[in-house]
Amino acid sequence: MEPDTKRIWSRAGVRVSVGKLIVESLGVDEANVTAQAALVSDLGAESIDFLDLSFKCQQTFGVDLPMRLIQERRIEWRDLSVLARVLEARYRVAVPADELRMVSPATVGAVLEHMAAKHEITRVAGDEREVVGALVTRMLADLASTPLDLSGLSVDQFTDYLEKNLHSPEAVEVVMSRLTVRAITEYVVRQLAAAGRLAPGA
């Protein structure tokens, strides 16, 4: 079957179809597929399910669901390459992510100590919070183009997690909890609208 790239969709039609795809892909009861249900924590989605869901979205709507992008972003945070870019922009010192990963404990405070000792950066009061804030802003910007509902997610909330631990599992959990049925529906609607395939007034 070739992907359908012609059909004009209504918002309600998208909502119903996304629901059906999720029921099929995740083997869950329709009643559990509510708008706010999170795919991973509420509906038990695993990486292989995203492969299936992405394919089905492509076939049904002709819209690519960039699930791989979310995975790639997660890897970039975990391997600290995003942090390396933030530090380079702030201090004009290029430190490889591998080196940052060797710093223990994995906190921005310890990383800045390391940078001061090895790369002669000058520390100032409050720099730790500022770096974490810049890191969070960058991470959220990276996720803006994915099917995550980031509304109401404050930089401060995230900063709290990452200040304690750069690999904070809570931070990842918060991000993944924003992968909801509604977020996927809205993502598909936005893509269809951009392609001129959303019915007027829908």
Partner 1 sequence: MTGRSVVLTGRGVVSPLGVGIDQHWEALCAGRSAVSRRDRLAALGLPASRGAEVAPEAIQPHLARLPRKQQKLWNRATLLAMLAGALAMEDAALSPGAGDPQRFGVLLGVNMLAWDLGSMLEYLAAAESPDAPCVLDMARASGFCMRSINPLDFSLKTLPNLIAGHLAIANDAQGFCRAVTEGHVGGARAVGDAVRLIAEGDLDVALCGGADDQLEELFFATHWGGGVIAGDDGRAGLVPGEGSGLLVLEEAEHALARGARVHGEIVGFASAAGDGDLGGGDHPERLTERLTRVVDSVLEQARTAPDLVSLHGDGIAAHDRAEGAALARTLGAVAPSAPRLRLKEAHADLGAAASPVELLACASALRYATLPPAVSARSTSTTPVFRSALVLAIGLFGECSALMMRS
Which residues of the chain form contacts with partner 1 (CB under 8 A)? 1-3, 24-28, 44, 48-49, 51-52, 55-56, 58-59
Closest separation in Å from C-beta 44 to partner 1: 7
Closest separation in Å from C-beta 27 to partner 1: 3
Residue 67, token pair as written in the block: 């699930």
Q: What is the DSSP letter of 3?
A: -
Closest separation in Å from C-beta 20 to partner 1: 14
Supply the DSSP string of 173-188, one letter for each residue.
HHHHHT-BHHHHHHHH
Instruction: For residue 39, give the nearest of 57, 26, 52 by alpha carbon.
Output: 26
Instruction: For residue 180, give the nearest of 153, 155, 142 by alpha carbon.
Output: 153
Closest separation in Å from C-beta 47 to partner 1: 12
- Of the two residues 60 and 168, which places its CB atom closer to partner 1 in the complex? 60
- Of the two residues 21 and 131, which places its CB atom closer to partner 1 in the complex? 21
- Of the two residues 70 and 171, which places its CB atom closer to partner 1 in the complex? 70
What distance, in Å, lies between the first and last C-alpha atoms of the chain? 27
- Of the two residues 61 and 77, which places its CB atom closer to partner 1 in the complex? 61
Dihedral sign, Cα of residue 189, residue 195, residue 199, residue 202: positive
Closest separation in Å from C-beta 50 to partner 1: 11
How far is residue 103 from each of residues 58, 80, 94, 151, measured CA to CA in Å?
42, 11, 16, 33
- Of the two residues 28 and 150, which places its CB atom closer to partner 1 in the complex? 28
- Cα atoms in the 13 Å half-sphere on the side-chain side of 105: 9
